[in-house]
Amino acid sequence: MPSPLHVQFVAAARGGPWSITSVTAIVGDPLPTASSLTVTEVPAGSGTTGPADAAWALHGIVSNERYVEREEKTRLALVQEGLGRPGATSGALIPIHKSDAWWQLPQDDRRAIFEARSSHIKIGLEALPAVARRLHHCRDLGGPFDFLTWFEFAPEHGAAFDDLLGALRATEEWDYVDREVEVRVSR
Ligand code: HEM
């Protein structure tokens, strides 16, 4: 088994392939604004701080899936596309923290909220294959967020991505989101 992929998101005044177009606090504390974002695969154990000139650096791990069931996994695999498509010049990094109330729930209650009552995957599938995504876990790394969610899409699918955000934020699952920052980027 390859070890899980470690990924660092570094915001700085310059240097990244992605230009930061906006940083918006949706719930809770914001992140400092910066001009550029770099997304780098880093060795495990390389720390969470980033370079000295970084405005901020966030570190996550592409971990195993927690909620997805076999039939959903099959449907996702049929339609989802990978990162790095040449036309996908718009992106978003959305770091998210969920409340203690969420983390105290047993796994079956969390799955019920996530999909049976919030239709996270069903809603998400409507945005595929236009939006490519990668989920990074970071709760166990001790940083300020539990998840770093990353999305790439062509500019003409920006409205579909906005609709997706609106639909997910209206769900019961989002009642448990107590910090969310939307970092929009383009390249
Ligand atoms: C592009 C369409 C999307 C699809 C197909 C999708 C699909 C999924 C799937 C399958 C999982 C479960 C992974 C697992 O089994 O552990 C997941 C988790 C997650 N997604 Fe999405 N998603 C989409 C969009 C979004 C967006 C736009 C956001 C943020 C605004 C988001 C935030 C999250 C978070 C935070 C989790 C982790 C939930 C947890 O473990 O508590 N997703 N997503």
The string of pLDDT tens digits covering residues 83-111 is 999 999 999 999 999 999 999 999 999 99
Beta-strand runs (E) in 15-160: 18-27, 36-42, 56-62, 90-98, 132-137, 147-153
* 123 close to ligand 1 (CB < 6 Angstrom): no
Contact status, residue 51 vs residue 16, Cβ threshold 8 Å: no
Q: Which DSSP state fits 129?
A: T
What pLDDT does 44 receive?
82
CA of 81 to the centre of ligand 1 (A): 15
* 149 close to ligand 1 (CB < 6 Angstrom): yes
* 35 close to ligand 1 (CB < 6 Angstrom): no
For residue 77, give the 3-state DSSP assignment.
Answer: helix
What pLDDT does 1 receive?
41
Instruction: Name the percent of the chain lying above pLDDT 70.
Output: 98
Q: Is the pLDDT of residue 58 over 90?
A: yes
Please state the pTM of the whole predicted model. 0.97
CA nearest to 26, candidates 151, 145, 156, 186: 145
pLDDT confidence of 43, banded at 50, 70, 90? Answer: confident
> Which residue(s) pair with 137 in the sheet?
61, 147
Contact status, residue 47 vs residue 80, Cβ threshold 8 Å: no
pLDDT tens-place string over residues 109-140? 999 999 999 999 999 999 999 999 999 999 99
Q: Which ligand 1 atom lies nearest to the CA of residue 182?
A: 30
CA of 68 to the centre of ligand 1 (A): 10
What pLDDT does 52 receive?
82
User: Which of 135, 157, 171, 172 to mutate for ligand 1's pocket (most ligand atoms within 8 Å of CB)?
Assistant: 135
What pLDDT does 2 receive?
58
* 128 close to ligand 1 (CB < 6 Angstrom): yes
Q: Is the pLDDT of residue 32 over 60?
A: yes
Q: Which ligand 1 atom lies nearest to the CA of residue 63?
A: 16
Q: Is the pLDDT of residue 45 over 80?
A: no
Q: Which ligand 1 atom lies nearest to the CA of residue 180?
A: 30
Q: Which of 2-11, 40-49, 80-89 shows the lowest mean pLDDT across its residues?
A: 40-49
Q: Is the pLDDT of residue 141 over 50?
A: yes
